[in-house]
Amino acid sequence: MAGNPDPQIEALLTKIREAGAPPLNTLTPAEAREAKNPAFIEFGGPPVDVSNVTDLRIPGPSGEIPIRIYTPEGKGPFPALVYFHGGGWVICNLDTHDSLCRHMVNRASCAVVSVDYRLAPEHKFPAAADDAYAATQWIAENGSRINVDPDRIAVGGDSAGGNLAAVVSLMAKDRGGPGLAFQLLVYPVADLSAMDNATYREYAQAYILTKDSMVYYGAHYLAREEDARHPHASPLLAQDLSGLPPALVITAELDVLTREGELYADRLREAGVPVKYSCYQGMIHAFFSMTGIVDRTMDAVEEAAAALREAFGMV
């Protein structure tokens, strides 16, 4: 049975309904970015101070990849979280998740490297995954250049970014590196091939992320229908999840993606991967980046930060 939204979430939903914005699936990708990216920036609230922020462009499989490096106080070299933003592989960018990354740096006392991977539909699957892996590999190989400890690197992300973090973990295992200490998967897209589980049925037309939205994102991201069954698009379909880094999987109760996140955590556990699963009651999709408007978001950020500190041997 569906739960009730947290009061702050309900207030946000009321504001969105009153604004009368057109459904995502009626917008072009350019229109979606114009409409949604400023909202995500607003969700984050005023950016908190961090010790240092540096923008770089690094080599990628097809041109340069912009990254943003957030560094905590201290001398380093620092453990690092390589972070991939959400947005259905279509919207969002370094700025939409800037506030979240700043909070993660301060609470986890690690560096955070946010990756501006190529977006669809201009760049179809597997472009985003290839960029995410290439960026992670570059960070591991160039740690001394950016004051990062190459032996303590984690990957993480929310939604499509959670998908990319899971996929990079699979790629790193299959390709012999880089070695990863942890994976932070926040309401990850785990299976693009099947949108018919319990939470898809329960929340198909509810809250911020609808089934129609996921169909829209998938159609723009995937070059071919059969790509949905590739484990680098749908990590839940990977045959072997053994040997992957420890994971924290965070989901929101009122979200079409809740069940597949739970299923992915179960599969990791069954494969012998240390995993913790946390479902935040009363929360909706995208709550993890609502650091400026939802109090419970900071509980999830602190849980993620604590898990990172433990994985990095900082506690």
Rounded Cα distance, 91 and 119, in Å: 7
Residues spanned by the domain of 108: 7-311
Q: What is the pLDDT along the chain (315 residues), one digit of tens a residue?
A: 468 999 999 999 999 989 888 999 999 999 999 999 999 999 999 999 999 999 999 999 999 999 999 999 999 999 999 999 999 999 999 999 999 999 999 999 999 999 999 999 999 999 999 999 999 999 999 999 999 999 999 999 999 999 999 999 999 999 999 999 999 999 999 999 989 898 999 898 878 899 999 999 999 999 999 999 999 999 999 999 999 999 999 999 999 999 999 999 999 999 999 999 999 999 999 999 999 999 999 999 999 999 999 999 997
Q: What is the CATH number of the domain that holds 33?
A: 3.40.50.1820
Beta sheet of 78-84, edge-to-edge order: 52-60, 63-71, 111-115, 78-84, 148-158, 182-186, 247-254, 275-284
pLDDT of residue 210: 93
pLDDT at 3: 82
DSSP track, 241-256: -TTPPPEEEEEEEEST
Of 159, 169, 213, 234, which residue is the catalytic one? Answer: 159
Residue 213 covered by a domain: yes
Task: Give the active site residue among 98, 227, 285, 289.
Answer: 285
pLDDT score for 21: 85
Which run of H or E residues covers position 228? Answer: none
What pLDDT, on the 0 to 100 scale, is given for residue 1? 44
Assess if residue 155 is contained within a domain.
yes
Q: E-strand spans in 86-147?
A: 111-115
Is 255 tagged catalytic? yes
User: 6, 149, 191, 255: which is the annotated catalytic residue?
Assistant: 255
The pLDDT of residue 2:
65
Query: At 273, is the secondary structure helix, strand, or coil?
Result: coil
> How many domains does the chain fold into?
1
For residue 2, being part of any structural domain is answered with: no
Contacts made by residues 60-65, CB under 8 angstroms, sequence distance 24+: 60/118, 60/130, 60/131, 60/134, 60/135, 61/127, 61/130, 61/131, 61/134, 62/118, 62/123, 62/127, 62/130, 65/115, 65/116, 65/117, 65/118, 65/131, 65/134, 65/135
CB < 8 Å & 24+ apart, contacts of 200-208: 200/256, 200/259, 202/2, 203/2, 203/254, 203/255, 203/256, 203/258, 204/256, 206/2, 206/254, 207/5, 207/13, 207/254, 207/255, 207/284, 207/285, 208/13, 208/16, 208/284, 208/285, 208/286
pTM above 0.85, yes or no: yes
Name 29's Cβ contacts closer than 8 Å, sequence gap at least 6: 90, 91, 119, 120, 121, 122, 220
225-to-221, 260, 261 alpha-carbon distances in Å? 10, 19, 22
In a domain, 38, yes or no: yes
Within-domain flag for 44: yes
Q: Is residue 63 part of a domain?
A: yes
Token digits of residue 22:
């057109």
Kindly state whether residue 278 falls inside one of the protein's structural domains. Answer: yes
Residue 1 covered by a domain: no
